Structure 1
């Protein structure tokens, strides 16, 4: 009789052990899925390890296609290692903004493209131009991006699409703020969002990197 009681107690213990194990497994799965959903569905990334993106993945190199040789500028000319050359390159593009006035279809196209990008790390304007095409930000970076946009529209309007012009502006913006854009690219990557130049630098994902520590390194003056 005592053997039967002991056997019964032993069986109950086994069932309890299995139940506890199942509960632990379920809690682990719930926690794991919660982290995945939080990280990849737009939740906060404060407690999530952000996959790093190296500078080599986003920094453009060499002479820009078509306009680089004409303006005698290279992506390599804008870097923290040579501030004078960087300022000279920025000034070349800035002078185009100062000396070029757009009208008609060119102005409409300019507004359509350039209102999509800002220099938010220098000024708080929604974009580097107002909706009428006038300058909205007075920093050197904004002058350079506006000047390049005007040049590509007036000199190579049939060779560059709107998105391609916006991408070129974005490449230079990355060069102006390399550290911040490395961080932003990492955040975009962690959320499964494209890290191409339009996604990375236009107003499309503006501010998505807020809350993450990043280098405040800037090339060129505000």
Structure 2
């Protein structure tokens, strides 16, 4: 059987060439539109990104005092309310049993009341700080007892190893654990304004109420 040769007219070749060119142009146009759309999505998601929870929630065992006291940051978690309450109660007991005098008391007041406007438990009570200017307790919630207890312990037992700023920072870490959802929201707002989210900036009174009016998460441990 002989194969019949098909002749293609010159006009047909021109037509097919035009179709091919047009197809290529359409593909290029579609690619550019799609790329531009994806680029906008990436930029938008980047601009809306907040501070990750893992970057502000302390984990593991605190250096120096963690093993001594038998506590870990991970003990305070909504996943284990009983262990969280036990840990908070243990730290609170230090505040109830230890009394500071002289230079230790002055340092205590500077850390919790004076430096950075002090540190408060504003989500449980409206006190300006967890202590008054004379060093007496200003808030009766369990969280504030725990924070005062830790500060006292570090001053009495590791006063030469920690500076005042470092003690305030350590107290701040536990405050983040007590109010993880609220602190996360506050960190997002601070980051959006270009403010550092280090523990002192986040938990002291430096930027207190910056998150006011925003939806907040719950607390770990009761007031």
TM-score of the pair, normalised by structure 2: 0.76
User: Within 1, Cα distance between the matches of 2:131 and 2:48?
Assistant: 33
Spell out the pairing of 1:68-217 with structure 2 (5 A cutoff): 68-115=66-113, 116-215=118-217, 217=218
C-alpha deviation, 1:50, in angstroms: 5.5
Q: In the alignment, what sits opposite 1:65?
A: 63
CA contact (8 A) 1:77 1:86 kept: yes
Query: Could you say what secondary structure the match of 1:105 adopts?
Result: helix
- Using a 3 Å threshold, how does the CA distance of structure 1 residues 189 and 133 change in structure 2: closer, same or farther? same
C-alpha deviation, 1:51, in angstroms: 3.7
C-alpha deviation, 1:211, in angstroms: 2.1
Q: Deviations over 1:21-47 (max 9, x none)?
A: xxxxxxxxxxxxxxxxxxxxxxxxxxx
Query: Could you say what secondary structure the match of 2:194 adopts?
Result: coil
Q: In the alignment, what sits opposite 1:221?
A: 222
Q: In the alignment, what sits opposite 1:56?
A: 54
Q: Deviations over 1:25-74 (max 9, x none)?
A: xxxxxxxxxxxxxxxxxxxxxxxx85422210100000000000000000
User: Within 2, Cα distance between the matches of 1:57 and 1:173?
Assistant: 15
- CA-based RMSD: 1.0
C-alpha deviation, 1:190, in angstroms: 0.6
Task: Count residues with an aligned counterpart.
Answer: 173
Query: Could you say what secondary structure the match of 1:76 adopts?
Result: helix
Query: Could you say what secondary structure the match of 1:167 adopts?
Result: helix
Q: Deviations over 1:75-124 (max 9, x none)?
A: 00000010110011111110100000000000000000011100000000
Segment of structure 1 superposing worse, 206-215 or 168-177: 206-215
User: Within 2, Cα distance between the matches of 1:160 and 1:85?
Assistant: 27
- Using a 3 Å threshold, how does the CA distance of structure 1 residues 50 and 204 change in structure 2: closer, same or farther? farther
C-alpha deviation, 1:214, in angstroms: 2.5
Larger Rg belongs to? 2
User: Within 2, Cα distance between the matches of 1:85 and 1:183?
Assistant: 25
User: Within 2, Cα distance between the matches of 1:50 and 1:214?
Assistant: 18
Query: Could you say what secondary structure the match of 2:136 adopts?
Result: coil
TM-score of the pair, normalised by structure 1: 0.76
CA contact (8 A) 1:114 1:129 kept: yes
Query: Could you say what secondary structure the match of 2:177 adopts?
Result: helix
